[in-house]
Structure 1
Amino acid sequence: MNTDLSLTLSEAGAGRPVLLLHGGGGPATVAGLAERLSGSAHTLTPVHPGWDGTHRPAWLTGIDDLALAYLQHLHDHGLHDVLVVGSSLGGWIAAEMAVRDTAGTITGLVLIDAVGVHVETEPIADVFALDARGLAEHSWHDPDRYHVDPATLPAGELARRQGNMATMRTLAGDPYMHDPRLLDRLGGVQVPTLLLWGESDRVVTPAYGAAYAAAFGDARLELVPRAGHLPQIEQPEATYRLVEAHLHRTSATPPVATG
């Protein structure tokens, strides 16, 4: 394992460890969910190397590299009974972690509109080819509310988004947004897995989510109405309730009492 990786990571709360992995949009896309979960759990929310201007070592060129790095972090800090929650690209990282977790560190998974596998009949939308409006149409149940014209963005924010997209292309551009071997490996993952899917997602459809769920050893799919690719933003309460229920359902230790 390379040692020149310095993780940018936020921690909050106490209780069962919950590792929250953001997608291509960056850490802000899971910040609200992390804040809610920190009321009953110990949340760890990293910024993937290369996102938001953080350093990405030259050797870190794939999602499998990130998966191993995060597993190493959990091991180095003596964390166990970990729930891993991943949104989009973060869900892919979570799945790759689970297939490599020989120590049994992870005891629950939540994949939120995750990419990472190839489903013949449900191709992943090419987010690199879409303009801002097209990406909004694919990503949101209510695109008019969330679409932002890049021409209206401050230079720094535009640079941040472009840098994040460039990092995502490096890590997940070829093969595009999936590991060809992952789908066949998921049957060996026996930890309880919840796949949350926005009903209106057109980046990865609910049918894609159903195929993903069917590949795991122990998984179920829950659809979130009136939500697209980021239900934790469009329907935060519904998403939080489902994640929190899975947090308590899958814990290997009694929950910490809160006031």
Structure 2
Amino acid sequence: MPTDASTTYADLSLTMSETGVGRPVLVLHGGGGPATVTGLAQHLSRTAHTITPVHPGWDGTPRPAWLTGIDDLARVYLRTLRERELRDVLVVGSSLGGWIAAEMAAHDSAGTISGLVLIDAVGVEVDAEPIVDFFALDARGIAEHSWHDSDRYYLDPADLASEELARRQSNMATMRALAGDPYMHDPGLLPRLSRIQVPTLLLWGESDRIVTPAYGAAYAEAFADGRLEIIPEAGHLPHIEQPDAAYALIEAHLDRTT
């Protein structure tokens, strides 16, 4: 059964859900919040010890004033893994979570991380493939850029309960604070990726219009051991639109990197 844990990190209370046994797998959600990776974490927990934090500031969790960027968050998670003496960790990150995962690996001098899975990740600047300005899109635009089947996943804000609408707006404000300037990337990250030696799988939805498959190809090429897999009929969250295909690729990478 899943259990929730709250780990204190100085003045930061870090809330995590943990379930399963086996190799540790850290699952990092994107801007949409922890619900976007719940199914993925549950699936992986059948054969692994999955750890799924809620990023500080998302879903009403507190964010200390000093936590102002993705690099700060990456260092928090990396230090948390080390303090818990976890080794051979596979880090799986979706969208913004993929950026966090890449930053963690770039700072991992102790060899805590042994593999990465980046799912339609942001975090680097590719001149020919700019990241779409997510903050400038309305709800319909977000759906059309994010999903292969936008009609299926579009939610009219007018149909949302006030509590859910407030949660989404708060999450968006936190994402803007941590990743809005420079917009959705670390200018120095791309050249540092070549120093990351762990096997890195990049999963990309073929229909993603937030960050295109061409952006994903440039991202994968920058790693010392990066591999890109395109998932048809999927957008920015292929593990939701095409879970069977995404899970199979992640499981194979989990086995490869153990």
TM-score in terms of structure 1 length: 0.96
Which residue type is aligned with residue 22 of structure 1?
Answer: H
3-state DSSP class of the match of 2:136?
A: coil
Which residue of 2 is the match for residue 16 of structure 1? 23
Which residue of 2 is the match for residue 62 of structure 1? 69
Aligned to 1:29, which of 36, 41, 44? Answer: 36
Aligned to 2:130, which of 110, 123, 136? Answer: 123
Number of residues of Structure 1 aligned to a counterpart in Structure 2? 250
Which residue type is aligned with residue 152 of structure 2?
Answer: R
Q: 1:152-203: CA deviations, max 9, x gaps?
A: 1000000000000000000000000000000000000010000000000000
Distance 2:111 2:77 in 1: 14
Which residue type is aligned with residue 171 of structure 1?
Answer: L
Which residue of 2 is the match for residue 74 of structure 1? 81
3-state DSSP class of the match of 2:51?
A: strand
Superposed, 1:82-231 pairs within 5 Å as 82-231=89-238
Which residue type is aligned with residue 211 of structure 2?
Answer: V
**Structure 2: stretches of 5+ with no match in the other structure:** 1-8
Distance 1:246 1:7 in 2: 28
3-state DSSP class of the match of 2:134?
A: coil
Distance 1:237 1:3 in 2: 40
Q: 1:140-161: CA deviations, max 9, x gaps?
A: 0000000001011000000000
**Structure 1: stretches of 5+ with no match in the other structure:** 252-259
TM-score in terms of structure 2 length: 0.96
Which residue of 2 is the match for residue 44 of structure 1? 51
Kindly indicate which of the two structures has a greater share of residues assigned to strand: 2
After the TM superposition, list the runs of 4 or more consecutive aligned residues in structure 1 that deviate by more than 4 angstroms.
none
Which residue type is aligned with residue 65 of structure 1?
Answer: D
Distance 2:26 2:123 in 1: 18
The question of 1:250 aligning with 2:240 is answered no
Shift of the alpha carbon at 1:5? 1.2
Distance 1:67 1:61 in 2: 11
- Which structure has more relative contact order (CA 8 Å, sep 6+)? It is 1
Q: 1:203-245: CA deviations, max 9, x gaps?
A: 0000000000000000100001100000010001111111111
Shift of the alpha carbon at 1:6? 1.1
Q: CA RMSD in A?
A: 0.6
3-state DSSP class of the match of 1:73?
A: helix
Shift of the alpha carbon at 1:3? 1.2
Which residue type is aligned with residue 220 of structure 1?
Answer: R
